[in-house]
Structure 1
Amino acid sequence: MILDVIYQGNTLHSYFIFLIFMFFGIFFGKLSYIVINKYVKTFTKKTKTKLDDIFLNAIEFPIIIVLFVIFTHYGLNNLVLQDSVYFWINESLKVALTFAGIIFTIKIVDDILLNYMLPLVEKSENKLDDQLLPIFRKLLKIFIFLSGILLILSNIGYNISALLTGLGIGGLAVALAAKDTIENFIAGILIIIDRPFTLGDWIKWGNQEGIIEEVGIRSTRIRSFGDTLITVPNARIIQAEIENFSARRKRQVKTTIGLTYDTPVEKVELAKEIIKDILTEHHGVLDPIRVSFVEFSSFSLDLRVEYFIRDFGFDFYLNTKDEVNLKIKERFNREKIEFAFPTQTIYYKKDD
C-alpha cells in the first residue's frame, strides 16, 4: 500500500497520522474559541463578577495555540525523528506555548486594569492619574512582553546573564541610536510632573491648537478643531511656548463700537453709560469693565469696549456676547444713537 511507503525513516501512514493530530489541534482550538464566544460568555455575562469575563477574554485566543501544541506534541510520538530535529520541533512548541502565555498574561492584566483601576481613576478629581494610567498600561505590557522573550530565550538554551551583560555593554550604542525616543520619554515624564496641561485641556503651541486627548510615552495626541488627530513628539511640545486656554478663569472681550460723526457729545457720554450699565448688570460679565472714547477714525467716533466673561464654556461665552450686543443695539435704537458705517462725503466745487 502507498501508506506503507517509507520516507525519511517513517511511513506515509505515520506522517498522515501526524497531520491528523495537527488538524485536530486546529479544529478543537477553533471550536473552543467559538464555544467560548457564543455560549460560555453569554452565561458569564449574567454573573455578578467581572473576573470570569476577563479570564475568558484573555484565554480565547491562546487556547487555540495551546490545543494545537498539545495535539502536535502527541502527533510527534508517531514519528521517528533525528534527535536534533525532534529537539528543535519540541523547542518550537515550547516557544509557542510561552508566546500563548505572554498573550494571556498581557490581556488579563490589561483587562483587570481597565475594569477595576479605570473606574477608580475616572471617579478621582485628580487628572494626574488619568494621564498616568495609559502610560502605566503600556509600560506594563512592554515589561511582560520582554520578560516573556527572556523566558523563551532561556528555554531554548541562551545564557540570559551573558545576554544581559552584553546588553549592558551595548547599552550606550542603543541609547545613542534611540536618542530621540529617550528624549521624548523624558519629556513625557516632565509633562506629567510639571503639568502645563492635563487631559481635556484646550492648548495652543506654535501656530496650532486643539484639545489634549492623551499624553503617551513618546508623544502627545491632540484633537484639532477640524477633528483631525495631531500626534506631537513630547520633546517638541515641551520646548514650545504653550498657551493653556482651559486654565484661564475668564475670557476677555475687546471690541470697538463706532458712532456717527454727527453724534453730540452728550450722546457719546450717554452711549458710554449705556454700555457700562449693560455690562455691569449682566451676570456673566466680570470686571474690569472699560468703555472709553478712544479715536476719531476715518468715518466714526470710536468707543473701545473691554470686559471679561465667566469661563463657563464656549457656548456660554457666545451667548453672553450675543445678549450684550443685542441689549446695546436695543438701547441705542431707543436713544436714537446711530452706529457708524463706512461712508464717504464728496464735495463738488461749482465754477462760476
Structure 2
Amino acid sequence: MLRSIFRRWETDAALVILSVSQLPVLALCVLGCLKIAFFNLHGAGIFEWVERSLTALIVAAATFWVGQLFTQVIVYYLKAYARRTEAIWDDVLIPILQSIVPPLIYLCGTFFFLQILGIDLTGLWVAFGGITFVLGFALREILADFFSGLILLIDTPFQFGDMIALPNGSTAVIKKIGLRVTHLYLIDNHCEIYTPNSQLAAKDIVNLSRPTPHFAYSINLSVKADADPVNTTKILREIVLGHPDTLGNLDAKLENLDKFTGFGEAKPGKMSKLEAGRLRLLAEKEVNQQLAKIETAFDELIAKIKVLAKGGLDAAEISILQVAYQDILKNVGLRAVIDSKSKRGRSTSKNCLHQTSTIPSSARLEPGIKFGCKTPICFQRTKLFYRKNGNPKLTY
C-alpha cells in the first residue's frame, strides 16, 4: 500500500527508503515483540539473558538500518545535489563522509552491542582514547592542513582559475584546492607550488579575480620626453592588436598584423608564426561569420515555428520546418552519407533525444569540412536511427 502511494510522488526518495527499510524494520518489529513478551518474566536467569540478547540484537538491527539509510539514501541524494551545484566543497566532502561515517556508525553500534551483553569495555575505551591522543599529537600538522582544507572548501575565498596575489608580491593562479595542500601556478616564475592549507588559511590573500574576472598587468615603457603622447598611444595600440594571440577586433588585428615585426624567422619546412597567425585569424573570422548565419537561421526557424504552430501543424507545415532545419544542419557542416542500420545504433537511440528528419532512408550525417580553413571544424558525430516505417530519426 505504501509503495503505491509513494509512486505518485515526484521523487523516488520514499521508495528507496521503503526498499532499504523492509528487512531492518521487520527485524526490529519481531525483536521488539519478543522483548515485550519476555519483559514481565523475571526470576529465571535464562530469561534475563534472553532479554539482554534481544536488546543487543535490536541495537544491531538499528545500527544496520542507519548505516544502510546513510549509504544508499543520504549519500545518493548528496551526490545528486553536488552534481547540480558549482561549488567545490561538496564534491570533496561527500566522498569523505561516505568513507568515514559508515565505519563510525558500525563501530558505535558494535560498542553498544558488546556493552549491552555485559562485556566490560572500560579498558578498551581507555586504550582507544590513548591511541587517539597519540595519533592526534603525531599528526597534528596533517590534521591542521586537513581541517583548513575543509574550511577553504566550505567558506572559500577563491575558486579554480582565480588569480591571487601572495604576501610576497608574486601572482599565482588557483589550480586545485585539495584536502591537505592547494596547487598554485606562479605566473612570473612559470612553475607550480604546493602550499599547505593551514599556511594558506593564515595568510592575507588578495583575490584579483573578484569582484570581476578582469585583470590588468602594468608594464613600464620608456619613451623620449618630446614624444607625442597621442601618437605613442596609437603605436602601442597597433602593436597590441597586431599580435595574433591578443583579443580584439579581427579586422583591426588583420590590418595591423603585417606591422608587427617581433616574430622570428620561419624554420625550413615550417610555417612562420606570422603566417600561422594570419591563417588562424582568417579562420576565426570565417567561423564567426558562419556562426552568425547559423544564429540567424535559428531565429528564423523559431519565428516560423511560432507562426505555423498556431492551431496545430499539418503535413505541409511540418515539411517546411524540416527543410529549414536541414538547411541549418548544412550550415553547421553535416552531410548525408549512405550507411546501414545497426543493433547498436537502435539501442543507443533509446537514451537520446530525437528530432524527426526527412533524410532518405539508409543515410546518416557526418561532419564535413566547412569555413574554408585547413583544419576542419569537428562536430559531434551524428547517427540515424530508423522507425519501423523506414523514416529515419536524427540524434545529435
| TM-score, normalised relative to structure 2 | 0.35
Please tell me whether Structure 1 or Structure 2 has the larger radius of gyration of its CA atoms. 1
Q: Tell me which of the two structures has the higher relative contact order, counting C-alpha pairs closer than 8 angstroms and 6 or more residues apart.
A: 1
| TM-score, normalised relative to structure 1 | 0.39
